[in-house]
Amino acid sequence: MKSIVVANWKMHPATFKEAKQLFEATKKAAEKAKGVSVIVAPPAIYLREIVKLYKGRRVAFAMQDGNAEAVGACTGEISIAQGKDSKAGYVIIAHAERRSMGETNDGARRKVSAALNSKMTPVLCVGEASRDGTGEHFNFIKEQLRIGLADVTAPKVSQVIIAYEPVWAIGATRPMEAHDMHEMAIFIRKSIVETHGKDGMNMKILYGGSIDETNAAGMLRDGDIAGFLVGRASTEATKCAALIHSLSEA
């Protein structure tokens, strides 16, 4: 099965020298693997230099976040337009760690639009903090999708990638169960069909949370997903290569 791996390096590594080494290992694994599209999301300060190191076609690049305004008086911010100028083709939007630092559904909505306007692919992250057995988390996800996608027209909706990352599975010891992911993937598509029509059926959905080389293939097979948003396992060269290899088509 074809798959997508978004390597979300978060705030790693500490030096550009290490970033180059990690990228080299990631690139090598990506080029050997069949059917795996790798998208590297480095810290923004490394992005342009890393892009320059790469001449091939198997790896693409993402921003980890981006401001919806192209320019402005926003000390410390980096705009989606600037990311595009640095050759990022994707932008991760409203990651759980950004939400915990104040990102809102409305902020996500503006960023999704800005990414599409810049001809970049938005990777809109959704995910509940916890589950209590009442099914309330489904309403929570539906609301994140409804607002995050509110400015996207129906014909464009399948250009957005949805990353489902339950907060309780991020940085944990194991991912969620594949059959629970499958159920959530169906729910996500159904919710988007309700707001945007039948193209919602074609949404690419990624799973994120404690994915590594031991569990990715099973999740891809049974989770009804197109691939992964990976944190820790993407920041260690050997683990990242093993993960990509584990998804390579035979």
Residues in touch with ligand 13P (CB under 6 A) = 8, 95, 165, 170-171, 208-211, 229-233
Q: Which two tokens stand for residue 63?
A: 């921003």
Catalytic: which of 95, 97, 128, 137? 95
> Is 175 or 200 the residue whose CB approaches ligand 13P more closely?
175
Q: How far is CA 152 from CA 29, 117, 204, 238, in A?
A: 35, 10, 15, 39
3-state secondary structure 16-77: HHHHHHHHHHHHHHHHHCCCEEEEEECCHHHHHHHHHCCCCCCEEEEECCCECCCCCCCCCC
| Nearer CB in complex with ligand 13P: 33/170 | 170
CB of 212: closest distance to ligand 13P in angstroms?
8
User: Least distance to ligand 13P from the beta carbon of 210, Å?
Assistant: 4
Distance (Å, whole) CA 133 – CA 17:
46
Q: Min. distance of Cβ 127 from ligand 13P in angstroms?
A: 9
- Exposed/middle/buried for 214, CB within 10 Å: 0-12, 13-18, 19+? middle
CA dihedral 217, 232, 148, 71 (to 10 degrees): -130
Nearest approach in angstroms of CB 1 to ligand 13P is 20
Active site residue 165: yes
165 versus 224: smaller Cβ distance to ligand 13P:
165
Which residue from 98, 66, 69 is spatially nearest to 83, judged by alpha carbons?
A: 66
Residue among 6 and 192 whose Cβ is closer to ligand 13P: 6
Active-site residue among 97, 103, 128, 165?
A: 165
Residue closer to ligand 13P by CB (options 200, 227) is: 227
Q: What CA dihedral angle connects 106, 107, 108 and 112, to 10 degrees?
A: 100
Give residue number: closest CB to ligand 13P: 231
Terminal alpha carbon distance of the chain: 9
Tokens of 24: 């080299």
Nearer to ligand 13P, 23 or 164 (CB): 164
Q: If you compute the radius of gyration of the chain from its CA atoms, what whole number of angstroms results?
A: 17
Our answer to whether residue 103 is catalytic in this structure is no
Q: How far is the CB of 170 from ligand 13P (least distance, A)?
A: 4
CB of 167 to ligand 13P, least distance (A): 9
Q: How far apart are CA 48 and CA 83, in angstroms?
A: 9
The catalytic residue positions are 95, 165
